[in-house]
Structure 1
Amino acid sequence: MLLEVIACTPEEAAAAERGGADRIEWIADPLSGGVTPDLSRAAEMRRAVKLPIRVMVRPRGGGFVYSEDEREEMRRDIRRIAAAGGLDVVTGVLTPEGTVDESALAGLLNAGPGLAFTFHRAFDEAVDLPRALETLSVYPQVTDVLTSGGAPGAPEGAAALAELLRRSAGRPPRILAGAGLTERNLRPFLDAAGADRIHIGSAARFGGDPLAPVDPERVRALRRIMEERAAGR
């Protein structure tokens, strides 16, 4: 079981940890789906929590096909993350044809040797999700794939996520289900998809507002649902 919570600041990361999160995804600009945060705060973020932190590396909102200048910016940011220590990476790159951009991905992985990577929801814009998962499986550094099963939200993609989970069978990269999950729909989603690794954004925040601070009580409620299901209750 894993509960990953988005945080934009050290204070939000600490609140997520108090609520029982297992891992932090550090981003900026949640309304765009997340972009690279201010990496000058890396040491501050690392001091704020004992949890693992994965840092979004995405130079802009919009699509996931990047120019060479953008790819170089991403590689530079990953080198900064590696130098900071104690952090890992969340990123994703596609070709114009909607496949995993293996050349660009290899460059990003090489910029952070030894770091673990989550391939983020760029995955959901791939034209063939099982093929994309198979492609990513050859890269040991890619430990996670954040996905809603190709749907706008994970609840709508539950059947596709169940199939991806079947295909991965617990082998890397592991499926991390996210997008559109709330305290109300989490339990039926877990039952339908068979997922036990969950990524939470707005549902962990006061009022479910993506721009509000993280509410540790909301995180605690989501974790309780996951624990009850794991215990068969």
Structure 2
Amino acid sequence: MIIEGIATNIQDVHDLNRFGADRIELCSGMEQDGLTPRMALVKEAVLVSSIPVNVMVRPQGITFHYTDREIMQMVDQIREVGSYGANGIVIGALAEDGHIDANALESFISVCGEMDVTFHKAFDALDDQVEGLKMLLKYPEVKTILTSGGPGGVTDNFEQLERLMKEAEDTHVTIMPGGSLSTENVAEVIERLKTEGLHFGTGIRSTKSYDAPISKEKIEFIRTVDRSGR
């Protein structure tokens, strides 16, 4: 199982590498649920990391509906992220009617090159997630959908996540549960969903704050639970 952890600074990047994570989502502004990090941090993170680094590209935390100017800014940032050798980008855009913004998505994909694309938790704002999944399946560049399955955390939406994972079977898209995951509930999540990967925020830090350091013990615990559950 892939353990993906959020990094907000270079120390997090080093710690996730040293403590046994499999992939990094690099972000800033976690008080706004994740914004585009500084490009200097992106460059350094990719340089020092031996595990894949996926970079959040999100210019503001107010809405998932972006202006033409914001979309152009995101396109430029995706190009720059790609020039540093990042593994992937983490993006999401919704139209005014609440559906996925296909035009924005295609603009992002057009410059992503070989990078993987993760559609982030804008997915949780959709009224019809199955419809959204079917739309994203039209784009082979989209490898992952990060989702809680709806409002709340993963454990609030088991049935919906199971439905999404069933719909995504034998496709190029992996449903990655994320949201309020912790060492307290990870055993239940792994047993129930048997997922290919889990996305952790503060759940792998020493306290429930992004100011706290990454916890080696918590990552090791999750790895042990994963092995015992197989």
Higher relative contact order (Cα pairs below 8 Å, separated by 6+ residues): 1
Q: Deviations over 1:5-34 (max 9, x none)?
A: 000112101211222111000000112110
Q: Deviations over 1:36-84 (max 9, x none)?
A: 0001222310132200010000001122001111111100100101111
> Would the aligned equivalents of 1:82 and 1:112 in 2 still touch at CA under 8 Å?
yes
> Would the aligned equivalents of 2:54 and 2:86 in 1 still touch at CA under 8 Å?
no
Matches within 5 A, 1:206-217: 206-217=206-217
Q: Deviations over 1:75-113 (max 9, x none)?
A: 010010111124310010011111111000000111222
Matches within 5 A, 1:178-193: 178-193=178-193
1:194 aligns with 194
1:73 aligns with 73
> Would the aligned equivalents of 2:42 and 2:55 in 1 still touch at CA under 8 Å?
no
Q: State the alpha-carbon separation in 1 of the partners of residues 160 and 151 from structure 2.
A: 9
| Paired residue secondary structure (1:150) | coil
Q: State the alpha-carbon separation in 2 of the partners of residues 159 and 192 from structure 1.
A: 10
Give 1:170 deviation, angstroms: 4.3
The answer for unaligned runs of 5 or more in structure 2 is none
Instruction: Tell me whether 1:5 sits opposite 2:34 in the alignment.
Output: no
Q: State the alpha-carbon separation in 1 of the partners of residues 210 and 45 from structure 2.
A: 20
2:112 aligns with 112
**In terms of mean alpha carbon deviation, does 30-39 or 208-217 score higher?**
208-217
- The total of aligned residue pairs comes to 230
Matches within 5 A, 1:110-149: 110-149=110-149
1:47 aligns with 47
Give 1:219 deviation, angstroms: 1.7
2:59 aligns with 59
- Counterpart amino acid of residue 205 in structure 1: R
Q: State the alpha-carbon separation in 2 of the partners of residues 119 and 211 from structure 1.
A: 25
1:85 aligns with 85
> Would the aligned equivalents of 1:88 and 1:116 in 2 still touch at CA under 8 Å?
yes
Q: State the alpha-carbon separation in 2 of the partners of residues 175 and 214 from structure 1.
A: 24
TM-score for both structures, normalised by structure 1: 0.95
1:229 aligns with 229
> Would the aligned equivalents of 2:86 and 2:115 in 1 still touch at CA under 8 Å?
no
Query: Runs of 4 or more off by more than 6 Å in structure 1?
Result: none
1:37 aligns with 37
Pick closer, same or farther for the CA change 1:170–1:156 going to 2, 3 Å: farther
- Counterpart amino acid of residue 134 in structure 1: K
